[in-house]
Amino acid sequence: MFDIIYSLEMIGIIAFAISGMIVARSKNMDPVGVFTIGFITALGGGTLRDLIMDNHPLYWIKHEEQPMLILVMAIIFSYSKRAERLRESRIVFPDAIGLGVFSILGAQLALDMGHSWFIASLLGVMTGTFGGALRDTLCNEVPYIFRKDQIYASISFAGCWLYFLCQWFLDYEALPLTIGLLFIVIVRMLAVKFDIRLQRDPQTH
């Protein structure tokens, strides 16, 4: 199970880092800015989670290969002509992957530390959304989590609870993980594609 979780962590880090670096490049940031935004997007949620749960040393400090990977990615992104042509609209898919991975893994870590389902779901949402919120704030954008035209945190929250329920009813350990993660990614993508939102502006006549 550890290998699966670690592999998912690396996938989530790469996905979130890509989303952050696309936004940074679109804002004409230099390589330092690209690395900073990629780092914060990928590791900001996990850092907040560890600080709240007093989990030290921070996870990315114990696993220095993670910030090293982000540094290599930032160098590639900063000097790649193909990356320069990517627009902010391309962040939706990697952002959805990062949201799914870190929501579920953040919730599981909270469960492992003895927290209730409710607290674990909140910590899962924080892990999945905080990095993206910092990315958007630093890039002078309204974070997805605060925009009424986006379903974001609620998808993370629902996915965490689906994961808990699947754990309760299913014996196979990897299946609840897969179901919860795919639920968040797919629902997030469908919400963007079909403009599904929790609240719509009143129509004017």
Establish whether the linkage from the previous residue to 143 is cis, with ω within 30° of 0.
no
Q: How far is CA 200 from CA 53, 78, 148, 154, 158, in A?
A: 36, 38, 8, 16, 20
Question: Mean pLDDT over residues 135-162, rounded?
Answer: 93
Chain centroid, CA 42 distance in Å = 7
What percentage of residues in the chain have a pLDDT greater than 70? 95
Angle at 151 between CA 149 and CA 155, to 5 degrees: 175
User: pLDDT for 93-121, tens place per residue?
Assistant: 999 999 999 999 999 999 999 999 999 99
Question: Mean pLDDT over residues 30-55, rounded?
Answer: 96
Rounded Cα gap, residues 185 and 191, in angstroms: 10
Question: Mean pLDDT over residues 130-144, rounded?
Answer: 94
What integer pLDDT is reported at residue 150 of this predicted model? 86
Question: Mean pLDDT over residues 11-26, rounded?
Answer: 95
pLDDT at position 183 over 90? yes
What is the pTM assigned to this prediction?
0.93
What integer pLDDT is reported at residue 205 of this predicted model? 42
Residues 6+ apart with CB under 8 A from 5: 105, 108
